[in-house]
Structure 1
Amino acid sequence: MDFKEYKEYHESFMQNNNGTTAFHTFLTIVPSFFTTFLYTLAVATNTFTCISIPMQFLQEFVILVVPVIASVTILNDFMLQINIALLVVCLPLFIFHMKDRVHIEPFIQIPTRPMQYLTVGRSVVNLLTCLCILAVDFQIFPRNLAKTETFGYGLMDTGVGLYVMINGGVSAEARKQKHEKLTLMRVKKILIGTSPLIFLGLIRFFLVKEIDYQTHISEYGVHWNFFMTLASVKLFGSLLLEMLPSPKYAHYMAITCLCLHEMSLQLGLSQYVMNADVSRETSFINANREGIVSIPGYVSIYLLSIWLGSQIQFHGKDTIRPKELLNVVGKITFISFFLWKMIYVCDKMFGTSRRLANMGYCFWITSLGATMIVLFMLLEIFILFVKFDQKELNQGQNERKSESNANIKQLDRLKYVPLIFEAINYNALLFFLVANLMTGAVNLLFQTMLLSDVASLSIIGYYAFTLLMIMVFLYENNIKLKFW
Structure 2
Amino acid sequence: MAQTYKQLKEAWVSGHTGSSVADVNSVSLAMPLSILLWSVVQSRMRLFTPYALPSLVVDFLLNCGVTLFATTIYASTPWVLNLLLLLPAAILFVLERPAPAGRHVPRRHKKDDDAKQQKLDPLPVKPFITNYRGAMMVITCVAILAVDFRVFPRRFAKVENWGTSLMDMGVGSFVFTAGVVSVRSALKEGAGRRPSLSKRLVTSTRHSIPLLVLGTVRLISVKGLDYAEHVSEYGIHWNFFFTLAFLPPFVALFQSVFDLVPSYAVLSCLLAAVYEIALDWTSLGSYILVAPRTNILSQNREGIFSFIGYLAIFLAGQSLGSIALPRQVPLPKDASPVDFLRKTMLGRLAIASLIWTALFYFSTSYYGLRLSVSRRIANLPYFLWVSSFNSYQITICCAIETLLFPDLYKTPSSAVDEKQKTREATSTVLHAFNRNGLAVFLVANLLTGLVNMTMPTLHMGVLQSMGVLGVYTAAVAGVAVGLDKWNVSIKL
The answer on whether the counterparts of 2:37 and 2:86 sit within 8 Å (CA) in structure 1 is: no
* Paired position in structure 2 for 1:404: 412
| Two-structure CA RMSD over aligned residues (Å) | 3.0
Give the letter for the 1:332 counterpart: L
* Paired position in structure 1 for 2:257: 243
User: Is 1:264 aligned to 2:278, yes or no?
Assistant: yes
TM-score of the pair, normalised by structure 1: 0.86
* Paired position in structure 2 for 1:279: 292
* Paired position in structure 2 for 1:300: 312
Q: Cα gap change, 1:73/1:243 in structure 2, threshold over 3 Å: closer, same or farther?
A: same
Q: Cα gap change, 1:114/1:405 in structure 2, threshold over 3 Å: closer, same or farther?
A: closer
Q: Distance in 1 between matches of 2:131 and 2:212?
A: 27
Q: Distance in 2 between matches of 1:329 and 1:461?
A: 35
Matched residue count: 456
* Paired position in structure 2 for 1:462: 471
Give the superposition deviation at 1:237. Answer: 2.1
Q: Cα gap change, 1:269/1:93 in structure 2, threshold over 3 Å: closer, same or farther?
A: farther
Give the superposition deviation at 1:85. Answer: 5.2
* Paired position in structure 2 for 1:46: 45
Q: Cα gap change, 1:479/1:206 in structure 2, threshold over 3 Å: closer, same or farther?
A: same
Q: Cα gap change, 1:229/1:376 in structure 2, threshold over 3 Å: closer, same or farther?
A: same
* Paired position in structure 2 for 1:329: 346
Q: Distance in 2 between matches of 1:195 and 1:74?
A: 40
**1:258-290 deviation line (CA, Å, top 9, x unaligned):** 111000110221111111xx221x111100111
Moved more, 202-211 or 415-424: 415-424
Give the letter for the 2:456 counterpart: Q
State the SS of the aligned residue for 1:404: coil
User: Is 1:116 aligned to 2:127, yes or no?
Assistant: yes
Give the letter for the 2:234 counterpart: Y
Give the superposition deviation at 1:57. Answer: 1.7
Matches for 1:106-255 after TM superposition, within 5 Å:
112-171=123-182, 172-176=184-188, 177-178=190-191, 180=194, 182-245=196-259, 248-255=262-269
State the SS of the aligned residue for 1:75: coil
**1:408-458 deviation line (CA, Å, top 9, x unaligned):** 857623421111111112211111000000000000010101110110000
Give the superposition deviation at 1:187. Answer: 2.0
* Paired position in structure 1 for 2:76: 77
**1:122-146 deviation line (CA, Å, top 9, x unaligned):** 1011000000000000011000010
Match of 1:452 among 458, 461, 474: 461
The answer on whether the counterparts of 2:265 and 2:315 sit within 8 Å (CA) in structure 1 is: yes
* Paired position in structure 2 for 1:443: 452
The answer on whether the counterparts of 2:40 and 2:404 sit within 8 Å (CA) in structure 1 is: yes
Q: Distance in 2 between matches of 1:17 and 1:458?
A: 26
State the SS of the aligned residue for 1:294: helix
The answer on whether the counterparts of 1:45 and 1:387 sit within 8 Å (CA) in structure 2 is: no
Give the superposition deviation at 1:207. Answer: 0.8
User: Is 1:377 aligned to 2:389, yes or no?
Assistant: no
User: Is 1:309 aligned to 2:308, yes or no?
Assistant: no
State the identity as a percent: 27
Q: Cα gap change, 1:147/1:166 in structure 2, threshold over 3 Å: closer, same or farther?
A: same
The answer on whether the counterparts of 2:124 and 2:325 sit within 8 Å (CA) in structure 1 is: no
Q: Cα gap change, 1:80/1:342 in structure 2, threshold over 3 Å: closer, same or farther?
A: farther
Q: Distance in 2 between matches of 1:91 and 1:246?
A: 48
Give the letter for the 1:279 counterpart: P
Q: Distance in 2 between matches of 1:387 and 1:272?
A: 52
The answer on whether the counterparts of 2:44 and 2:92 sit within 8 Å (CA) in structure 1 is: no
* Paired position in structure 1 for 2:337: none
User: Is 1:345 aligned to 2:340, yes or no?
Assistant: no
Q: Cα gap change, 1:310/1:210 in structure 2, threshold over 3 Å: closer, same or farther?
A: same
Moved more, 428-437 or 404-413: 404-413
Q: Distance in 1 between matches of 2:223 and 2:441?
A: 20
Q: Cα gap change, 1:183/1:411 in structure 2, threshold over 3 Å: closer, same or farther?
A: closer
* Paired position in structure 1 for 2:106: none
Q: Distance in 1 between matches of 2:331 and 2:35?
A: 20
* Paired position in structure 1 for 2:421: 413
Unaligned runs of 5+ in 1: 102-108, 394-402
* Paired position in structure 1 for 2:27: 28
Q: Distance in 2 between matches of 1:162 and 1:49?
A: 28
* Paired position in structure 2 for 1:358: 379
Q: Distance in 2 between matches of 1:231 and 1:219?
A: 17
* Paired position in structure 2 for 1:398: none
* Paired position in structure 2 for 1:289: 301
Give the superposition deviation at 1:192. Answer: 1.9
Give the superposition deviation at 1:97. Answer: 6.7
The answer on whether the counterparts of 1:97 and 1:386 sit within 8 Å (CA) in structure 2 is: no
Give the superposition deviation at 1:65. Answer: 1.4
Give the superposition deviation at 1:180. Answer: 1.8
The answer on whether the counterparts of 2:205 and 2:248 sit within 8 Å (CA) in structure 1 is: no
Unaligned runs of 5+ in 2: 101-116, 333-339
Q: Distance in 2 between matches of 1:182 and 1:409?
A: 37
Q: Distance in 2 between matches of 1:145 and 1:482?
A: 30
Give the superposition deviation at 1:359. Answer: 0.7
Give the superposition deviation at 1:295. Answer: 1.2
Give the letter for the 1:36 counterpart: I
Q: Cα gap change, 1:72/1:288 in structure 2, threshold over 3 Å: closer, same or farther?
A: same
Give the letter for the 1:417 counterpart: T
